Structure 1
Amino acid sequence: MTKPAQKAATKMVPMHETDAERRHEHRFQVPENIARLVMRTTASNLPLSRDDRPYQWSSTTYCDTIDWSIYRAAETGSAMQLRIREYHRTRPLVVMSPGTAWIEFKDDEQDTSLKERYGVPMEVARSFVHGDPRSLDLDHGLAERASRLLRAGARPVVVTQYNRLAYSALDSSLRITADHNLMYFALPWEAATDREEPTPLGTLLSMEPNVIVEMKWYGELPHWAVDLHQYLKENTKEERPSKFIVAIRWLLGQNGREAK
């Protein structure tokens, strides 16, 4: 009697997105009335982003090493960010929930960035941050650098949550976003006993009273965006640091001072 043929195991192929080149990235903290004006101008010139549903909740879990090496590097203007992003219709009280996760690697260098990300089932993302990268091909590019951080002890430490309104050029040459209701949370990762279950958020570290507007672009800005960028600069005291830097400052109580 012939035995039935066994099905060959199929390897999971993650969704993969990567920036074509380094892009400029400027952030501004502005009050609601200025944010509304900025986004009205943006909406007159750019379509809504196809990848972001307006005002959905974004939860981003950031990793760092025991000695805060990623944060220290970020404060100098150059760092590799390792983070897990997930999207929800309502604000979750946990992270690493079942569904799709985006494992993101972001190389920041002064006012430019380069990002690569993989869309995977959440169980793959959980295994990844627990130090098991075998389910992903991480032997090249930003992903390979990020895997070295995991081997150096990087683990989830903070979470940001916010509502995002995003507009983007069809060729991705320009993207303008406004993040509302931004919150920073600690994440008691070491206290989690079940690797297969979502991790509850820890202490609320801070809530942003204003709106964070970000402009990201390749090449030259169109004239209307040059004017918009200048308007944002004139209405802010200084450019806003990344969410990762702000979150870790709140976590460590540093407020810009060097981490101990």
Structure 2
Amino acid sequence: MTSEMQADRSAQPESVPRHEDRFIASEELARLVMRTAGSHLQLARDDRPYQWSTTAYCDTYDWAIYRAAVAGQALRLRFREYHRTRPDEAFTSARVWLELKEDTVDMSRKERFEIAGDVVPAFLRGETDLTDASGGLGQKAAELVRAGARPVVVTQYNRLAYAAPDDRIRITADHNLIYLAVPWTTNSDDAVPIRIGPILARETDVVIEMKWLGELPAWAEELHGYLRQRAPADRPSKFVVAMRHLLGEAKS
């Protein structure tokens, strides 16, 4: 990696594996959940309330990441950026987050790097290492890039998030969730920014996520149990839902 590329990124260390559950909830239930979370946790500093999050997810030409995710274990390679209003293009920001997230059946871990948006095509060509490719999640990401990973779907939503110190508990609510296609055809330098769409589907309810390390405190355990009673359990990840819509595999 050149010194210029090194200067263009900052990293957050790989997280400790943590529990993660997702739920789809009505607006009324989501308000109750987030009021409860807000009475015990602080507003998360990295997710400003109701800004737009735009996330471009990558997959290989044989949909290897999607198939692994459906089976319950996969490394997701994605790019995230934040805007005050909903953009109609991806990779418009000078800085974007390159995120590597690995899921198992009920655990997840994540590593993220702040990078310059205009180096994304070079990264996907395998010409620059924006992660530590010598081991861990970075090594797996490098393998996906060599296999031809490129952006295939995009999600956009407004997030409200509360978290304990060091993210030992994190509860989020994603509103106005939209799934979109992205017509990525080349890794040339002029590939970014890229217009996103068409819209594949919209979520009419709210996606609630609970993530935690170790044991939940009593109030959070009670909230988790209440959610499991009131909201459909085993909610797939946004990536899986988006890919099902893209490939025509979504259930009616």
TM-score tier (shorter): over 0.9
**CA positional deviation for 1:17:** 1.1
Q: Which amino acid aligns with 2:23?
A: F
One-letter amino acid of the counterpart of residue 237, structure 2: S
Alpha-carbon distance in structure 2 between the residues aligned to 1:205 and 1:112: 28
What residue ranges of structure 1 are gaps of 5+ in the alignment? 1-7
Distance (Å, rounded) in 2 between the aligned partners of 1:252 and 1:10: 39
Alignment-derived partner of residue 216 in structure 2? 221
Q: Does residue 98 of structure 1 match 2:128? A: no
| Structure 1 residue 194: Cα displacement | 6.0
8 Å Cα contact 1:138/1:147 also seen in 2: yes
Which one of 103, 106, 115 corresponds to residue 110 of structure 2?
A: 115
Aligned length: 249
* 1:164-183 mapped onto 2 (5 Å cutoff): 164-183=159-178
Q: Which structure has the larger Rg?
A: 1
Q: Which residue of 2 aligns with 1:142?
A: 137
Q: Is the 8 A contact 1:104 1:117 kept in 2?
A: yes
Taking only aligned residues, the RMSD between alpha carbons, in angstroms, comes to: 1.8
Structure 2 residue 163 is matched with structure 1 residue 160: no
Tell me, what secondary structure is at the counterpart of 2:20? strand
Match among 17, 24, 29 for residue 24 of structure 2:
29
Contact persistence 1:25–1:112 (CA under 8 A): yes
Letter in 2 for 1:162: Y
Shift of 1:19: 4.0
1:50: Cα distance to partner? 1.4
Equivalent residue for 2:34?
A: 39
Contact 1:133 1:147 in 2 (8 A): no
Report Cα offsets for 1:201-228 as digits up to 9, x if no partner.
0210000000000000000001000010
Higher mean alpha-carbon deviation, 11-20 vs 165-174, is at 11-20
Q: Percent identity at matched positions?
A: 51
Q: 1:208 aligns with which of 203, 208, 227?
A: 203
Who is 2:119 aligned against?
A: 124
C-alpha separation in 2, matches of 1:109 and 1:126: 29
Residue type at the aligned position of 2:150: R
Aligned to 1:199: 194
Say which of 112, 124, 128 aligns to 1:133.
128
CA contact (8 A) 1:129 1:156 kept: no
Q: Which residue does the alignment assign to 1:63? A: 58
**Does the CA-based 8 Å contact 2:14-2:112 persist in structure 1?**
no
Q: Does the 8 Å CA contact 2:30/2:173 hold for their aligned counterparts?
A: yes
Counterpart residue type for residue 160 of structure 1:
T
Q: CA deviation at 1:133?
A: 2.7
Q: Residue 188 of structure 1 aligns with which residue?
A: 183
- Cα contact 2:125–2:187 (8 A) shared by 1: no
CA distance in 2, matches of 1:227, 1:23: 19
Q: Which residue of 8, 12, 15 maps to 2:6?
A: 12
**Cα distance, 1:251–1:11 mapped onto 2, change above 3 Å:** closer
**Normalising to structure 2: TM-score of the pair?**
0.93
Per-residue deviation, 1:135: 5.0
Which residue is equivalent to 2:232? Answer: 237
Secondary structure in 2 matching 1:149 = helix
8 Å contact from structure 1 (residues 101, 125) kept in 2: no
Distance 2:56 2:115 in 1: 15
Mapped to 1, the partners of 2:169 and 2:14 lie a distance apart of 12
Would the aligned equivalents of 1:130 and 1:155 in 2 still touch at CA under 8 Å? Answer: no
